[in-house]
């Protein structure tokens, strides 16, 4: 059976302390990481891997849920430390990860900044500048909606909405779904992504239904961590569009 270990990465993002939860997946000869943290977190990732008996040098692949800065921030640094790592992402996300197209989040931020004033605009300008510091990284494996099983026991589940090519991973033998940002867990509730940062809320809600249809026994959210209790009820509430 596919094994997984949830990492805990703490960081200061802008004006707040945040924690995100990438997932280490061990599957036979493959050692995979699902998402790659904020910028400048390669050392933290190394430390978290070490606590579990692994190292960046052990990674054979990194699968990216989508191209937001808190998921690809340390991707290039990890690839630099271990050039043999193969990077996989949905084909609709790859151009934003490899830098051939401007990040949708940066475009959104710059448009939003035009409506801001005072300290809010100052922060908005800082955030847009911060997004521009994300180092691009080539994607080795382009996934699509029919990608299916990316590794024995691991199925790619398209969960668009937050971004166009967002994916989740279904570890079907254990009934575990790794949701990336398709869902968040906060205050004891599963929620759809914040509408302010979701590019297509209708598709995001449809993605919750996709996850519900799998009847998962464990959910791991990038924002919020692991959920094992009352999953049907929590998913039902999330499907109604309740947000963070």
Give me the tens of pLDDT residue by residue for the chain, a chain 244 residues long: 899 999 999 987 666 789 999 999 999 999 999 999 999 999 999 999 999 999 999 999 999 999 999 999 999 999 999 999 999 999 999 999 999 999 999 999 899 888 888 888 888 888 889 999 999 999 999 999 988 999 999 999 999 999 999 999 999 999 999 999 999 999 999 999 888 889 999 999 999 999 999 999 999 999 999 999 999 999 999 998 754 4
Question: Is the four-CA dihedral 173, 145, 213, 230 of positive or negative sign?
Answer: positive
pLDDT at position 244 is: 43
- CATH: 3.40.50.1000, 3.40.50.12780, 3.60.15.10, 3.40.50.920. Which one for 3-102+136-239? 3.60.15.10
pLDDT at position 24 is: 98
pLDDT at position 15 is: 66
pLDDT at position 112 is: 83
Please give the model's pTM, rounded to 2 decimal places. 0.95
């Amino acid at each position: 059976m596919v094994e997984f270990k949830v990492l805990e990465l703490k960081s200061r993002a802008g004006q707040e302390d945040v924690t995100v939860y990438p997932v280490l997946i061990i599957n036979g000869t493959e050692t995979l990481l699902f998402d790659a943290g904020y910028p400048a977190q390669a050392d933290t990732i190394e430390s978290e891997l070490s606590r579990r008996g692994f190292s960046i040098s052990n990674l054979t692949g990194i699968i990216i849920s989508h191209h937001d800065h808190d998921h690809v921030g340390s991707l290039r640094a990890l690839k630099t430390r271990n050039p043999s790592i193969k990077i996989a992402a949905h084909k609709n996300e790859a151009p934003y990860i490899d830098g051939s197209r401007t990040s949708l989040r940066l475009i959104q931020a710059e448009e939003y900044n035009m409506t801001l004033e005072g300290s809010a605009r100052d922060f908005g300008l800082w955030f847009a500048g911060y997004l521009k510091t994300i180092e691009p990284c080539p994607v080795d494996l382009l996934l699509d909606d029919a990608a299916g099983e990316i590794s024995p026991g691991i199925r790619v589940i398209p969960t668009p909405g937050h971004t166009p090519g967002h994916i989740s991973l279904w570890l079907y033998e254990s009934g575990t779904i790794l949701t990336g940002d398709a869902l968040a867990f906060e205050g004891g509730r599963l929620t759809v992504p914040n509408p302010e940062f979701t590019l297509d809320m209708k598709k995001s809600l449809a993605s919750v239904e996709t996850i519900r249809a799998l009847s998962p026994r464990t959910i791991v959210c990038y924002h919020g961590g692991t959920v094992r209790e009352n999953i049907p009820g929590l998913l039902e509430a999330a499907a109604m569009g309740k947000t963070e």
